[in-house]
Amino acid sequence: MKRALVFIAVCFGTSLSFAQDQQFANLGDFKLQSGEILRDCRLGYRTAGQMNADKSNIIVIPTWAGGKTEQWVPNVGPGKMADTSKYYVVLIDALSNGVSSSPSNSTAQPRMKFPRITMRDMVDTQHELLTKILHIHHVKALMGISMGGEQTFQWMVEYPDFMDKAIPIVGSPRSAAFDLVHHQAQIDAIKDNKDWDGGNYTKNPARDAEYEFGAILLKTPAEFNKTHTREQVMKELAASNSGGGSDANDKIRQVEAMMSLNVAEPYGDSLEKAAAAVKAKVLVIVGKEDHTVTPGPAIEFARDLGAQLLVIDDGCGHQYCDNSRVANAVTEFLGK
């Protein structure tokens, strides 16, 4: 969602300096879980820090919904949450984020010709990038926020030998019932918009709805009312339908991927059995009042794993306010 695009910048700072520019890996035609082929698949990524001789200090971080690797930059550097004085950091742009292969940038499969993707497809393309392009076959840790956390859950179950540690932050191992409803509502808001035209729009549709969903879901009512005036909200509502912001077709394909999320599906829908496949040490971080990714499934999975669990109860919701506590927990866990 639109406001999630600035999630890291809002939470952790706004500096956009980085050690290395945007890079791309060409994966060719990639077979998806559905059997469809994603033509000319490419993934965006950035790296920072120095890889040590035995490649034991690598951290991989996928992006959140609509997010781009450049927006992780404020958290990457010496002494930061992804500490480049200790770790070699690989940031990966998830499919359909407007940088990696997406409905908005594909020439072979533009707009709604772009095939539906799943969370497994996102992770499988990342695995191919790491193993076949970057020649990385094992990492110290995988971590991510929101949809990045969901990819982290998928990674730890699907490729259990790939990482020593995993840190999903305000993510989920499978979409809860409430999550599915608001995901579908966001798709419906786009497709029901007068500008939709089957995805062949000239004006990016339903940007006002995008703003509204962000306002309702990313913060608790108390926190939103604390940080927004009535006048400010009316101005933002009036400006929100200009057609700017994230591409609606990209949005739909990423939301569908989040709706597909269920790491327990290959295990008879049992989170307990899925947890038994995990080999990494895990730190699960959730928001107690998170309405974007409701915390129940992540808490249940953490208990099945016997994982370390941190529940952020700061009254802020999905876009948590207690940034230092999260950063400190991640730093401590990585250093163990």
Residue 19: pLDDT above 60?
no
- The residue extents of the domains of the chain are 2-335
Q: What is the pLDDT of residue 4?
A: 38
Query: In sequence order, what are the residues at sequence separation of 6 or more whose Cβ sits closer than 8 angstroms to the Cβ of residue 332?
Result: none
Q: What is the pLDDT of residue 75?
A: 86
Contact 277, 157 (CB under 8 A): yes
Burial class (CB in 10 A: 0-12, 13-18, 19+), 208: middle
Q: What is the pLDDT of residues 171-214, one digit of tens each?
A: 999 999 999 999 999 999 999 999 999 999 999 999 999 999 99
* Residue 74's pLDDT band (cuts 50, 70, 90): confident
Running DSSP on this structure, what letter comes out for residue 140? E
Residue appearing with tokens 């009036």: 238
Residue 9: pLDDT above 80?
no
Q: What is the pLDDT of residue 277?
A: 97
Q: Where are the alpha helices (DSSP H) in 2-146?
A: 7-12, 119-128
Fold of 2-335: Rossmann fold (3.40.50)
- Mean pLDDT to the nearest integer, 259-266: 97
**Alpha-carbon span 123 to 173, nearest angstrom:** 13
What 181-187 contacts at long range (C-beta under 8 Å, 24+ apart), as own/partner pairs, is 182/213, 182/217, 182/291, 182/292, 183/255, 183/258, 183/259, 184/259, 185/213, 186/1, 186/210, 186/213, 186/251, 186/255, 187/252, 187/255, 187/256
Contact 92, 44 (CB under 8 A): yes
Query: In sequence order, what are the residues at sequence separation of 6 or more whose Cβ sits closer than 8 angstroms to the Cβ of residue 305?
Result: 275, 278, 282, 284
Q: What is the pLDDT of residue 17?
A: 38
**Alpha-carbon span 247 to 111, nearest angstrom:** 10
Query: In sequence order, what are the residues at sequence separation of 6 or more whose Cβ sits closer than 8 angstroms to the Cβ of residue 196?
Result: 190, 205, 206, 248
DSSP SS3 for 41: strand
| Strand 88-92, strand 139-145: pairing | unpaired
Q: What is the pLDDT of residue 321?
A: 94
Query: Mean pLDDT score of the chain, rounded to an integer?
Result: 92
Contact 67, 8 (CB under 8 A): yes
| Dihedral in degrees, nearest 10, Cα atoms 224, 255, 70, 83 | 80
Which one is predicted more confidently, 61 or 6?
A: 61
Does the global pTM surpass 0.95?
no
Residue type, 14: T
* Residue 243's pLDDT band (cuts 50, 70, 90): low
